[in-house]
Amino acid sequence: MSSRAQTLALLRAKVAELEGGPRIQRGGLPMGFAELQRVVGGWPSPGVVEITGRPGSGRCRLIQPLLAQLTRQARCVALVDPFGEWHPTGWPGTRLDRVLIAQPSPEQAGWTTEQLTRSGGFALVVLFGRLRLGRSSARLVRSVEQGRCCLIVISEKREQALSAHLRLETRGHFPDGLRVHLVRRRGGRDGVSLRLGAWSPPASTS
């Protein structure tokens, strides 16, 4: 090998080292809403999603199809609920025996979320409430990629420090569906408003 080729190979190896190794290949988990699936392509996995909106605007309804599908496939889901405000027993179609509910203090919510995402034991981790990340956003993203899971953060206000692959805002729910605004999507369309049709839980097989 020539000295030029050797130098080029060393440079490529150094770039790969600085980038943290090979790029993560992301898939898309089904969203359960055809209109949103068509625009977004699926919940990013591994990836970070932020869903914001006022209480009662349909934030939890937006992820009900995903919860139902994953748990019915016997895949595990973790819910981090530092304020004890959410009640998954009211989520239709979800198998609760596949759901872990963690209720850390608000100060420990970020650390708990990071441990769960990194563990590799959960296809989905949902955090209810703001993370208040500061400078730890990159570490959280690495934990999501290490555990190859989807992290969804649900809160009223955006966490600007959160390095999210997808940001959605819910703007109200109705008997026949939801109104959702696509705030940001990496490599895709931004600023799109959608009206999603109603989702019905799958029939019980028991």
Written as six digits, the tokens of 183 are 């705030």
Average pLDDT over residues 121-149: 86
* Side-chain-facing half-sphere of 196: CA atoms under 13 Å: 32
* Residue 41 backbone zone (phi > 0: left; psi -120 to 50: alpha; other: beta): left
Residue 98, beta-bridge partner list: none
For domain 27-197, say whether CATH 3.30.1330.10 is its number: no
Residue 116: predicted pLDDT: 96
Residue 173's φ and ψ, nearest 5 degrees, are -125, 155
Q: What is the DSSP track for 78-135?
A: EEE-TT----GGGSTT--GGGEEEE---GGGHHHHHHHHHHHS--SEEEEES----TT
pLDDT-above-90 percentage for the chain? 55
Residue 188: predicted pLDDT: 66
Q: Is 29 helix (H, G, I), strand (E, B) or coil?
A: strand
- Count CB atoms within 10 A of the CB of residue 45: 18
Residue 123: predicted pLDDT: 96
- pLDDT tens by residue, 160-200: 888 899 999 999 988 888 999 999 887 666 788 999 998 88
Could you tell me if 58 and 172 are in contact, meaning their C-beta atoms sit under 8 angstroms apart?
Answer: yes
Q: What is the DSSP track for 149-186?
A: -EEEEEESS--TT---SEEEEEEEEETTEEEEEEEEET
> Taking all residues of the chain, what is their mean pLDDT, rounded to a whole number?
83
**How do the domains of the chain map onto residue ranges?**
27-197
CA 55, 151, 130, 35 torsion: positive or negative? negative
| Range from 47-61, 86-100, 168-182 carrying the lowest mean pLDDT | 86-100
Among the listed residues 205, 45, 37, the one whose alpha carbon sits nearest the alpha carbon of residue 122: 45
Residue 18: predicted pLDDT: 35
Average pLDDT over residues 117-141: 85
pTM of the model: 0.83
